[in-house]
Amino acid sequence: MHTDLSLALQIQGMDLRIRALTREIDGLPKRIAAVEARLASHKQALADTKAVLEQNKKDHRQLERQVDDEKQKISRLQDQMNGARTNEQFRAFQHEIQFCKDAIDAHEESILGKMEEAEELQADVSSAEASLKAESTKVAEDVRRAKARIEADRKEREQVLASRSDLGAKISPGTLRTYERIRQARGVAITPVEEENCGACHVRLRPKVLQDLGQLTQGVITCESCGLIIYRPVEGSDA
Ligand SMILES: [Zn+2]
């Protein structure tokens, strides 16, 4: 393989690396947002559980007020009952008082239920707080790692860009132009020959093309089918 083609191939390797690094760098805000969204769902779970517990406490207070109301009513009724003039009136008050007492029993039963529920909800809140705390630590670590990765990517990209610029000064301008034109149109510009086929479009290359490729000392040869620059990989080499 002549120098120009080997330089173009090295430039392509760098361009592919630059592209991969740029994708990773550009994807960072999205990745961080996804990581932070994990935290948001934990915060929401905690807020939801706290809201249910808050409602439970409100219900509990409301029930206690109702019990107090019934007790006051009973005390008023008892006063009135003491002044009753007939047995009928007396029994009517008695009946009303019993009605209030039944209501108190029902409210107190509900209060017990609320208290049991509150105990479970408090446990839920505690575990939601614990898992939010654990997740916060993990998220902070993941964000830190993602940012460090991007920092490393940026540095590497700088280095690769600098090396690419060095090689760009060494390669012949004609070959570089051809390479750039194909790369911009196709994403990649150079493909190896595999057996007797183009490595990109897999069309079988004409014997003359293969012969020319074997004797190539300058410039480049492109696949007649897909237009990519073709080269014969050197045996036992990665290039
Ligand atoms: Zn091809």
Q: What is the pLDDT of residues 19-75, one digit of tens each?
A: 999 999 999 999 899 988 989 989 999 999 999 999 999 999 999 999 999 999 999
Per-residue pLDDT for 238 more than 70? no
Across the chain, what does the average pLDDT equal?
Answer: 94
Ligand 1 centroid from CA 102, angstroms: 91
Query: According to the model, what pLDDT value does residue 2 have?
Result: 83
Ligand 1 centroid from CA 73, angstroms: 96
The token pair at 216 is: 């190539």
Domain coordinates of the chain in residue numbers? 3-170, 173-231
Query: According to the model, what pLDDT value does residue 236 have?
Result: 56
Average pLDDT of the residues in 133-146: 94
Give how far Cα 130 sits from Cα of 116, 133, 174, Å. Answer: 22, 5, 64
Q: What is the band of 237 on the pLDDT scale with cuts at 50, 70, 90?
A: low
Residue-by-residue DSSP string for 120-144: HHHHHHHHHHHHHHHHHHHHHHHHH
pTM for the model stands at 0.70
Ligand 1 centroid from CA 206, angstroms: 12
Bridge partners (DSSP) listed for residue 230: 191, 221
Ligand 1 centroid from CA 230, angstroms: 8
For residue 8, with 0-12 CB atoms within 10 Å meaning exposed, 13-18 middle and 19 or more buried, which class applies? buried
Ligand 1 centroid from CA 225, angstroms: 5
User: CA 67, CA 96: separation in Å to the nearest integer?
Assistant: 15
Percent of the chain with pLDDT over 90: 89
Handedness of CA 142, 148, 154, 156 (dihedral sign): negative
HSE toward the beta carbon, residue 7, CA cutoff 13 A: 24
Nearest to 52 by CA among 111, 122, 116: 122
pLDDT tens-digit map of 172-198:
999 999 999 999 999 999 999 999 999
Ligand 1 centroid from CA 222, angstroms: 8
Ligand 1 centroid from CA 79, angstroms: 106
Q: What is the band of 235 on the pLDDT scale with cuts at 50, 70, 90?
A: low
Ligand 1 centroid from CA 200, angstroms: 5
Handedness of CA 93, 98, 100, 101 (dihedral sign): positive
Ligand 1 centroid from CA 190, angstroms: 10
Give how far Cα 172 sits from Cα of 6, 14, 220, Å. Answer: 11, 17, 11
Per-residue pLDDT for 88 more than 90? yes
Ligand 1 centroid from CA 189, angstroms: 10
Architecture of the domain whose range is 3-170: Orthogonal Bundle (1.10)
- How wide is the angle at C-alpha 26 spanned by C-alphas 15 and 159, nearest 5°? 40
Among left, alpha and beta (phi > 0; psi -120 to 50; other), residue 219 is: left
Per-residue pLDDT for 168 more than 80? yes
Q: Strand, helix or coil at 204? A: strand
The answer to whether 49 and 121 are in contact (CB under 8 A) is yes
Average pLDDT of the residues in 125-137: 94
User: CA 124, CA 117: separation in Å to the nearest integer?
Assistant: 11
Task: Kindly give, in sequence order, each residue whose CB lies less than 8 Å from that of residue 49, ignoring residues fewer than 6 positions away.
Answer: 121, 124, 125, 128
Per-residue pLDDT for 5 more than 50? yes
